Amino acid sequence: MAGALIQLCLITTTAGVTKGRAETIRRNFYRLMNDLSWLTPIGWVMDWKTCSEVMKRLQELADEYAKEANGRQLFYLATILMSYNELKQLLQHSREPANQQIATRLKTILELQRRLVELTT
């Protein structure tokens, strides 16, 4: 199924084992990711709209973590483009976000992409 690519955010953690306040910040980061993104074998994936909405909070956590962990980075964020088939396959091997509204966003994008491809073929 060919067609336009879907823009996503891919976030992977770079934080190792930490102690003290840095550990609390890391746990807050994991909670945020589990609430708002799909946990996949390649990292957390979220639609671009959700990513844009939480970017400020992610940056705040990253800044706090760097301050507490001697400048170490909390996560790596990349914008990726995936085809319908790639995303569909990736989501089959992932855990949905706790926030069902966010889970539905990416499913809706996937469904709209499927329909678009069907209409153009």
Return the amino acid letter for 119.
Answer: L
Pairwise CA distance, residues 86 & 30, whole Å: 25
Burial category of 84 from C-beta neighbours within 10 Å (exposed 0-12, middle 13-18, buried 19 and up): buried
- pLDDT tens digits for 5-35? 889 999 998 877 678 888 999 999 999 999 9
pLDDT over 50 at 1, yes or no: no
pTM here is 0.83
